[in-house]
């Protein structure tokens, strides 16, 4: 009778080991279930929505962090501009009533046309102008004021209701005026400006001064560490602007002929 061989470990079938908790999270990450995918998508959407909401709340109101004094200045400027527009509306309504009344309407129409011509000549820079306003002197010892800075100054003055703007008693700013930088020199309509820059502006003195001194505006930018300049503003009862703008002849545009009246 053959002797029984002792059974070796290799001959004994291995019993399945109980699966422990180690490695399960990695297995879940490698093969996530449907519920896990849905939960991840929901969390991602909620996170993105939260970030967008925070950004929208931050940029929703540019004046949220403004000081009370700054807000009062803005309201004063808006109030002055509103009163100016109301006066202009009343004047136009009176002119319309005079023209419609038929009483000496030809004389009224001629006076209105002459007044409009004078106003348009001032806006176009082809006639001298005078009126209340401010004189702003910009010192730039480090020569860091560029054309873009002066362009911002022009835009701020226009937003505050400026009617006439002049640089250094020699360059009249009109709708077609362009500014450029050539190294450390600023060029306006082909003329090189000398430092310090002087802006004479005709308009409501209070609105113009407050617009320049508003926190984060022109004065803050020039006197800040990036430029290191200095700005002085002087209120004047009368500003004289004598420089004129020479309009260039149109190269392509021509007056359009009146369209025939449909029968």
CATH no. for residue 136?
Answer: 3.30.70.1880
Percent of the chain with pLDDT over 70: 71
Q: Based on the domain organization, do 98 and 174 belong to the same domain?
A: no
For residue 68, tell me if it sits in a domain. no
Q: Based on the domain organization, do 109 and 175 belong to the same domain?
A: no
pLDDT band at 60 (very low <50, low <70, confident <90, very high): very low
* Domain carrying residue 120: 85-124
Give yes or no for residue 31 having a pLDDT over 70. Answer: no
Give yes or no for residue 142 having a pLDDT over 70. Answer: yes
The predicted model gives 157-186 an average pLDDT of: 92
Q: Based on the domain organization, do 135 and 219 belong to the same domain?
A: yes
Q: Based on the domain organization, do 176 and 90 belong to the same domain?
A: no
For residue 149, tell me if it sits in a domain. yes
Give yes or no for residue 252 having a pLDDT over 70. Answer: yes
The predicted model gives 42-65 an average pLDDT of: 65
Cβ-in-10-Å burial (0-12, 13-18, 19+) of 240 comes to: middle
Q: Based on the domain organization, do 134 and 174 belong to the same domain?
A: yes
Q: What is the pLDDT of residue 181?
A: 92
- Residue where a domain terminates, one of 124, 150, 179: 124
For residue 25, tell me if it sits in a domain. no
Give yes or no for residue 80 having a pLDDT over 60. Answer: yes
The predicted model gives 35-54 an average pLDDT of: 71
For residue 3, tell me if it sits in a domain. no
Lowest mean pLDDT among 11-25, 45-59, 84-98, 139-153: 11-25
Q: Based on the domain organization, do 136 and 186 belong to the same domain?
A: yes
pLDDT band at 10 (very low <50, low <70, confident <90, very high): very low
Q: Based on the domain organization, do 181 and 232 belong to the same domain?
A: yes
Q: Based on the domain organization, do 118 and 147 belong to the same domain?
A: no
Give yes or no for residue 263 having a pLDDT over 60. Answer: no
Q: Based on the domain organization, do 146 and 211 belong to the same domain?
A: yes
With CA atoms as reference, report the closest residue to 218 among 154, 153, 167.
Answer: 153
Query: Quick check: 149 and 227 in contact, CB under 8 A?
Result: yes
- Residue where a domain terminates, one of 76, 98, 124: 124
Rounded to an integer, what distance in angstroms lies between the CA atom of residue 80 and that of residue 85? 9
Could you give the number of structural domains in the chain?
2
């Amino acid at each position: 009778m053959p002797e029984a061989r002792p059974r070796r470990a290799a001959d004994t079938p291995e019993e399945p080991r109980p699966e422990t908790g180690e490695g399960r999270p990695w297995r879940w990450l490698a093969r996530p279930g449907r519920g896990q995918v849905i939960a991840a998508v929901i969390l991602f959407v909620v996170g993105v929505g939260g970030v967008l909401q925070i950004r929208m709340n931050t940029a929703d109101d540019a004046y949220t962090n403004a000081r009370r004094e700054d807000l009062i200045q803005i309201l004063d400027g808006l109030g002055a501009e509103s009163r100016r527009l109301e006066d202009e509306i009343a004047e136009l309504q009176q002119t319309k009533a005079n023209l419609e009344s038929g009483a000496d309407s030809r004389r009224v129409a001629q006076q209105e046309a002459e007044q409009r011509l004078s106003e348009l000549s001032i806006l176009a820079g082809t006639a001298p102008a005078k009126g209340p306003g401010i004189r702003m002197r910009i010192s730039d010892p480090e020569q860091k004021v560029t054309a873009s800075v002066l362009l911002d100054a022009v835009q701020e003055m226009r937003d505050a209701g400026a009617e006439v703007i002049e640089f250094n008693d020699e360059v009249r700013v009109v709708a077609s005026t362009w500014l450029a930088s050539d190294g450390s020199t600023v060029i306006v309509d082909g003329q090189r400006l000398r430092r310090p820059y002087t802006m004479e502006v005709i308009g409501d003195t209070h609105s113009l001064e407050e617009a320049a001194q508003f926190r984060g505006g022109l004065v803050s930018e020039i006197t800040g560490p990036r430029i290191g300049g200095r700005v002085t503003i002087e209120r004047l009862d009368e500003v004289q602007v004598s420089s004129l703008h020479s309009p260039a002849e149109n190269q392509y545009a021509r007056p359009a002929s009146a369209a025939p009246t449909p029968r």
